[in-house]
Amino acid sequence: MPTPDPLGRFPAVRLRRSRRYAWSRALVAETRLSPADLIWPVFVCEGSGRSEPIASLPGVERQSVDRLPHAVAEAIELGIPAIALFPATPAERKTPDAREAWNPENLMCCALRAVKQAHGEAIGLVADVALDPYSSHGQDGLVIDGYVANDETLAALAQQALVQAEAGCDIIAPSDMMDGRIGHLRAALDGAGFERVALMAYAAKYASAYYGPFRDAVGSAGALGKADKKTYQMDPANGDEALREVALDLAEGADMVMVKPGQPYLDIVSRVKREFGAPTFAYQVSGEYAQIAAAAERGWLDREGAMLESLIAFKRAGADGVLTYFALEAARALQAG
């Protein structure tokens, strides 16, 4: 046992004093998490009155367009500021050129119109721009001579972004990782009178093993097969390269940037926020969610505790917001105190 100093003041500094009570811990908390920090990714399927569970994402469902306004109403009530929509396009509508992506009556556009008509400006609508939900090969861009072609893909992405903007999208979120796509999309949107539509760039999107459940959810896993996306998504070994990607996207007109996946790349989130000071988001991707959900199902983790701890980690690293499948659940827990 340590020997006290002559005045009996050992130790003079006791950090545990501020940890003793819940109120004192709240008083000195350095990082805050609220529902306003969350963006809810929502999967959309065809049909009416449908809600389809996703086996690899326990607790997450695909919902038909007619069910969306009711689901989104809860998000609004909970204080969630935005949702991100992802379509599960039927296989028969997928083609090598992914032309369904710019069909103004596709699932994405119908979903955008339905939510916008029901809720107006009460919640922000984020729309993914990439070809993988619509391509028969599962790649994010057009495949020419066995290679995902960059410049040819840009024209397709612009057409996709324009129909989404026309349908009521507030934030276009390109996840394709083609070079130059932010500048190309900004020019296309501005030229069509959509200068108020924001761009959230998936600026540092890694070729990750954590995307599997998402690909199940949108039905691209089977199309992709044993192929990969390493020629355009980032190498997990690289950090400095992420800063170059972010710098390019901001210079081309991105309003906000994203790091994806999230928790395995918290160092990148922190570096991006410190380097640029721009609005920075992280995507807690499907594999991250599935790990917590599966462990909790087996009693290996406390679901709510692990969920909230994982989300506060994003904020502590510097993220301004988090896309997470836990959004509704986390917002309920935060409101309950």
Which residue in the list 94, 116, 205, 273 is annotated as catalytic? 205
Q: Look up 260 and say whether it is catalytic.
A: yes
Q: Which residues pair with 200 in a beta bridge?
A: 256
Q: Among 282, 238, 228, 245, which Cα is nearest to 260's?
A: 282
Q: Look up 205 and say whether it is catalytic.
A: yes
Is the bond preceding residue 261 a cis peptide, omega within 30 degrees?
A: yes
Which residue in the list 94, 260, 273, 315 is annotated as catalytic? 260
Is 245 annotated as contributing to ligand binding? yes
Q: How far apart are CA 88 and CA 77, in angstroms?
A: 26
Contacts of 290 (CB under 8 A, 6+ apart): 56, 57, 58, 212, 213
Radius of gyration of the chain (CA): 21
Q: How far apart are CA 209 and CA 231, in angstroms?
A: 15
The alpha carbon of residue 113 and the mean position of all alpha carbons in its chain are separated, in whole angstroms, by 21
Q: Among 30, 52, 41, 75, which Cα is nearest to 260's?
A: 41
Q: Binding site for Mg(2+): which residues? A: 245
Which residues are tagged catalytic?
205, 260
